[in-house]
Amino acid sequence: MFSLEIYCPQLGMLVEFSYCISMNENLPCRIIVGCWRNRMDIIKYLKENYTDEDLKKIFESPPKNRLQRIVETIEKEKKTEE
Amino acid sequence: MKRRIDLNEKDIPKQWYNIQADMPKPVPPPLNPATGQPITPDMLAPVFPMNLIEQEVSTERWINIPDEVLEKYLIWRPTPLYRATFLEKYLGTPARIYFKNEGVSPAGSHKPNTAVAQAYYNKIFGIKRIATETGAGQWGSALAFACNQFGLELKVYMVRISFNQKPYRKLMMETWGAKCVPSPSPDTNAGRKFLAQNPEHPGSLGIAISEAIEDAVTTKDSRYSLGSVLNHVLLHQTIIGLEAQKQLEAIGEYPDIVIGCAGGGSNFAGIALPFIRDKIHGKNIHVIAAEPSSCPSMTKGTYNYDFGDTAETTPLLAMHTLGHNFVPAPIHAGGLRYHGMAPIVSRLVMDKLIEPRAYSQLETFAAGVTFARTEGFIPAPETNHAIACTIEEAKKAKEEGKEKVILMNWSGHGIIDLAAYDAYLSGKLDDYVLPDNEIQGLLKELEKYPRP
């Protein structure tokens, strides 16, 4: 029987498909294709359910590494304090 | 033949190994995404104590392990090295398989190796409190143990979906005195923003990271702590490989193959870096990083690489296997990209000192079950990637009729991850491409979920 659960390599736990399509500010996770491609036609699903703009938002910009993310958050906090 | 090789407490390594002293090509400095300029140590000062920042950028080959850290390490270290004789017998392989059992730590994984060190360095820098994030709780529980040992306060932002579904890690953290809250939380600006959008927001690792950093930056005497990816984290983990070298030497063995699983790269680096040092200096040794095929950050094979960051430190993946025409352009550009790998590991992959391999979810769980049914220990799901690779190599040795020595890092136990085994054993994780009519049913089912 097909299940909507999958082991999430980022979180290290089982998650449902509903999580994979909503965790990214209500958009799909950027690695959803890799996780679900063997289990359903995820490309077709994304094409049919999201606009090009959505897809760009999810996939287009290169992901930031952890240090970049840390520095970005520090800078944001500095601006907030100012 | 010895099945269990122990190291005496007095022989525990007294220094960590810093591969930055020996890398053929240095890791380029990470760039500030806002300015394109290298990130400097002072920019990190609001989140890390300076003694750890110094380790982050150090090129000193050997760094002394403080006595206070060694004292804590001795709670569970040196960890045993086992010869996996039952697995060897089951596979009928001439290979001799050794595994380093990092699952014996109080938190059940390799993570306390750096958690203890980081807690110590924060403590002596005058920090009173640490904030961090955790996904399923492995890092959070390791740091909770470490902070407790050094009398530091700890606040852990745990991704809400995990907080709700995995109570045991949360309870471990609380038992060690940490405060664990679901993320997004009402305690930070970042958390409040997401809760305003959706009070039931399931959270994500990204949100939890933002919350923890904001907390550390805005709370007096606080800093942030991270359990993977960064150079100083990998440095602290090298105690695994350094111990293994001594244990193997004691029985007259040296590995032909060293294997670790690689998510963020820390446990892999822990076992592998001391051996990569030998490889750089001429030893004939094969080092393999096993990663999930679902979010590969290193694997070549059928995939093409590109480099998404300007520093070109991290190989990124273009998903040509899914078909150029088949995939909408935005997805094609980055749909399989994952950027979570440690820059040191990425650099060593590019320098061909590490071979990356990807394994599917199913084959890793199958390997984990085989291991549990032969060697007895139930591995963490991440560890299963290393086991899948070890089994593959042991079978290859059988085909070739070679008595290879394989060393694997058994990075943690899976006793708190049994739900994942349940899903595997009940067939819920099977790879199965749905026929069209079933897809339609599935999509209908999904209509109940929130849409943007």
pLDDT digits (tens, 9 = 90+) for B206-262: 899 899 999 999 999 999 999 988 999 999 999 999 999 999 999 999 999 999 998
pLDDT at residue B319 above 80? no
Question: How large is the C-alpha radius of gyration of chain A?
Answer: 16
**CA-CA distance, B182 to B191, in Å (whole number)?**
10
Give the pLDDT confidence score for residue B285 in this predicted structure.
98
Of all residues in chain B, what percent carry a pLDDT higher than 90? Answer: 68
Residues B291 and B349 placed together within one structural domain of the fold:
yes
Task: Name the range with the highest mean pLDDT among B25-29, B196-200, B205-209, B383-387.
Answer: B383-387
Residues B174 and B243 placed together within one structural domain of the fold:
no
Tokens 């400097």 belong to which residue?
B40
More confident residue, B32 or A75: A75
In a domain, B9, yes or no: no
Is the ipTM above a cut-off of 0.95? Answer: no
Give the pLDDT confidence score for residue B325 in this predicted structure.
27
Residues B337 and B311 placed together within one structural domain of the fold:
yes
Which of B209, B309, B432 comes nearest A69 by C-beta? B209
The verdict on a CB contact (< 8 Å) between A35 and B295 is yes
In a domain, B294, yes or no: yes
* B289-303 mean pLDDT: 60
Give the pLDDT confidence score for residue A5 in this predicted structure.
82
Residues B242 and B322 placed together within one structural domain of the fold:
yes
pLDDT digits (tens, 9 = 90+) for B407-416: 999 999 999 9
Most distant pair of Cα atoms in chain B: their distance: 65
Predicted confidence band of residue B381 (pLDDT cuts 50, 70, 90): very high
The verdict on a CB contact (< 8 Å) between B335 and A30 is yes
* Nearest residue in A to B420, CA atom: A14
Give the pLDDT confidence score for residue B317 in this predicted structure.
28
pLDDT digits (tens, 9 = 90+) for A25-55: 888 987 788 788 777 878 888 888 888 888 8
Within B273-418, strands assigned E span 286-292, 304-307, 315-318, 355-359, 405-410
Give the pLDDT confidence score for residue B301 in this predicted structure.
29
Low-confidence winner among B41-45, B104-108, B199-203, B340-344 (lowest mean pLDDT): B340-344
Give the pLDDT confidence score for residue A6 in this predicted structure.
86
Give the pLDDT confidence score for residue B427 in this predicted structure.
85
Q: What is the spatial order of strands in the sheet that B4-5 belongs to? A: B4-5, B81-83, B96-101, B405-410, B257-261, B286-292, B355-359
pLDDT digits (tens, 9 = 90+) for B99-152: 999 999 999 999 999 999 999 999 999 999 999 999 889 999 999 999 999 999
Predicted confidence band of residue B320 (pLDDT cuts 50, 70, 90): very low
pLDDT at residue B191 above 60? yes
**CA-CA distance, A13 to B420, in Å (whole number)?**
7
Sign of CA dihedral B439, B441, B442, B443: positive
Residues of chain A positioned with their CB less than 8 A from the CB of B32:
68, 71, 75
Task: Name the range with the highest mean pLDDT among B24-33, B185-194, B258-267, B426-435.
Answer: B185-194
Give the pLDDT confidence score for residue B295 in this predicted structure.
62
Predicted confidence band of residue A60 (pLDDT cuts 50, 70, 90): low
Residues B99 and B134 placed together within one structural domain of the fold:
no
Residues B247 and B205 placed together within one structural domain of the fold:
no
More confident residue, B322 or B177: B177
What interhelical angle do B205-218 and B189-197 show, nearest 10? 140
Residues B314 and B188 placed together within one structural domain of the fold:
no
The parent domain of residue A64 ranges over 5-81
| Domain boundary pick from B194, B220, B246 | B220
Which of A18, A21, A74 comes nearest B213 by C-beta? A74
Distance from CA of A70 to the nearest CA of B (A): 7
pLDDT at residue A61 above 50? yes
Low-confidence winner among B10-24, B228-242, B286-300, B303-317 (lowest mean pLDDT): B303-317
A81 backbone dihedrals φ, ψ, rounded to 5°: -65, -35
Residues B139 and B264 placed together within one structural domain of the fold:
no
In a domain, B200, yes or no: yes
B162 backbone dihedrals φ, ψ, rounded to 5°: -75, -40
More confident residue, B408 or B321: B408
Tokens 């004691």 belong to which residue?
B250
Residues B92 and B148 placed together within one structural domain of the fold:
no
More confident residue, B317 or B76: B76
* B76-105 mean pLDDT: 98
| Domain boundary pick from B220, B251, B268 | B220
| Domain boundary pick from B185, B220, B255 | B220
Residues B216 and B241 placed together within one structural domain of the fold:
no
**CA-CA distance, B99 to B393, in Å (whole number)?**
14
CB contacts < 8 A (A, B) = 231
Distance from CA of A61 to the nearest CA of B (A): 8
How many C-beta neighbours within 10 Å does residue B192 have? 14
Predicted confidence band of residue A68 (pLDDT cuts 50, 70, 90): confident
Residues B328 and B400 placed together within one structural domain of the fold:
yes
Give the pLDDT confidence score for residue A73 in this predicted structure.
84
Within B135-279, strands assigned E span 153-159, 179-183, 222-224, 257-261
Distance from CA of A21 to the nearest CA of B (A): 9
Residues B259 and B361 placed together within one structural domain of the fold:
yes
Residues of chain B positioned with their CB less than 8 A from the CB of A35:
294-295
More confident residue, B95 or A22: B95
Residues making up chain B, counted from first to last? 452
Locate A64 and state its tokens. 């930031």
Question: How large is the C-alpha radius of gyration of chain B?
Answer: 22
Of all residues in chain B, what percent carry a pLDDT higher than 70? Answer: 84
pLDDT at residue B446 above 50? no
Query: What is the 8-class DSSP label of residue B147?
Result: H
Total number of domains constituting chain A: 1
Which of A25, A40, A58 comes nearest B433 by C-beta? A40
Distance from CA of A32 to the nearest CA of B (A): 8
The parent domain of residue B295 ranges over 81-104+237-419
Give the pLDDT confidence score for residue B187 in this predicted structure.
97
Total number of domains constituting chain B: 2
Give the pLDDT confidence score for residue A37 in this predicted structure.
76
Which of B162, B218, B319 comes nearest A13 by C-beta? B162
**CA-CA distance, B331 to A33, in Å (whole number)?**
9
Task: Name the range with the highest mean pLDDT among B288-297, B301-310, B419-428.
Answer: B419-428
In a domain, B412, yes or no: yes
Q: Which helix (H) or strand (E) holds B96?
A: strand B96-101
In a domain, B42, yes or no: no
The verdict on a CB contact (< 8 Å) between B32 and A71 is yes
* Nearest residue in A to B381, CA atom: A12
Task: Give the bridge partners for A48, in sequence order.
Answer: none
Locate B284 and state its tokens. 């004939």
Nearest Cα neighbor of B301 from B309, B312, B313, B293 is: B293
More confident residue, B416 or B316: B416
> At B296, which CATH number?
3.40.50.1100
pLDDT at residue B311 above 60? no
Instruction: Tell me if B163 sits within 8 A of B170, measured CB to CB.
Output: yes
In a domain, B209, yes or no: yes
Distance from CA of B89 to the nearest CA of A (A): 30
Residues of chain B positioned with their CB less than 8 A from the CB of A52:
328, 330
Average predicted confidence (pLDDT) for chain B: 86
